[in-house]
Homo-oligomer: A and B are copies of this chain.
């Protein structure tokens, strides 16, 4: 069953004057189930019995009320054939699009990411992204090159960053877990401190549909460290989910009762 749509929130999103009406609903897009579960428990959300999404898609939605906020958490779910989490930009963009269409929220995104030690990132750090861009869409034709990079600012939340003492840095997105030399050069050009596999695609959809998006990212791996990424990623995933859980709860507590312009 779908929760009632909040048309006021939808109006608020499309209004450039960012009115003072408090935010009423928040949507989390979380790529991996391991990261979603602590938040689902924390906010005492329930899985929807009848999907708002089309028949056949593996997307999962949890929803409920926490303080004055309607909270939705959506995950791309398990690949229908292979059974692994449907990570990456294609499924993240589809899920974001379908969720915004179905739920009409201002929204909010969190997931694990990979950090650069050289830029001040440590495992377990939680970052708020100031900007997002792609690092694996090289189109060396004038203007198409900028389209490929797709650099966008996240919704600005200076009070949130100060109050919760979150680190702020640029986020770079690509569909590979590893990093080839061309990716690395693009990440450096993007001036990124953290790297993930979904952020810039979600930012693209949010921009297309004029929904403010913030990006909360917990560092699971140090790319310029000495351990192989895949190994470090799997070791740290559950532990970092706890850090993200804590930060996400603090963010939700901070958002509660505030309008977008007060963030």
Q: Which residues of A contact B (CB under 8 A)?
A: 54, 56-58, 79-80, 82-84, 86-91, 93-94, 97-98, 101, 134, 136-141, 143-144, 146-148, 175-178, 180-182, 201, 204-205, 207-210, 230, 233-234
Q: How far is the CA of A93 from the CA of B94 in the complex (A)?
A: 7
Verify A137–B175 contact, CB threshold 8 A: yes
Verify A87–B144 contact, CB threshold 8 A: yes
Q: Which of A80, A90, A139 has the most CB of B within 10 A?
A: A90
Known: A54-B209, A90-B201, A230-B140. A82 touches B176 (CB 8 A): no
Partner pick for A208 among B57, B138, B234, CB 8 A cutoff: B57
Within the complex, the shortest CB–CB distance from A104 to chain B, in Å, comes to 11
Known: A88-B137, A141-B177, A178-B140. A208 touches B80 (CB 8 A): yes
Verify B180–A147 contact, CB threshold 8 A: no
Verify B180–A83 contact, CB threshold 8 A: no
New contact pairs (9) apart from A144-B177, A182-B182, CB-CB < 8 Å:
A58-B208, A82-B146, A83-B143, A84-B143, A86-B147, A89-B90, A90-B201, A137-B175, A140-B230
| List of 4 A-B pairs having minimum Cβ-Cβ separation, nearest first | A138-B176, A137-B175, A180-B182, A139-B177
Q: How far is the CA of A9 from the CA of B157 in the complex (A)?
A: 47
Q: How far is the CA of A255 from the CA of B134 in the complex (A)?
A: 39
Return the chain B residue nearest A139 by Cβ: B177
Verify A90–B93 contact, CB threshold 8 A: yes
Verify B141–A234 contact, CB threshold 8 A: yes
Verify B82–A143 contact, CB threshold 8 A: yes
Verify B139–A209 contact, CB threshold 8 A: no
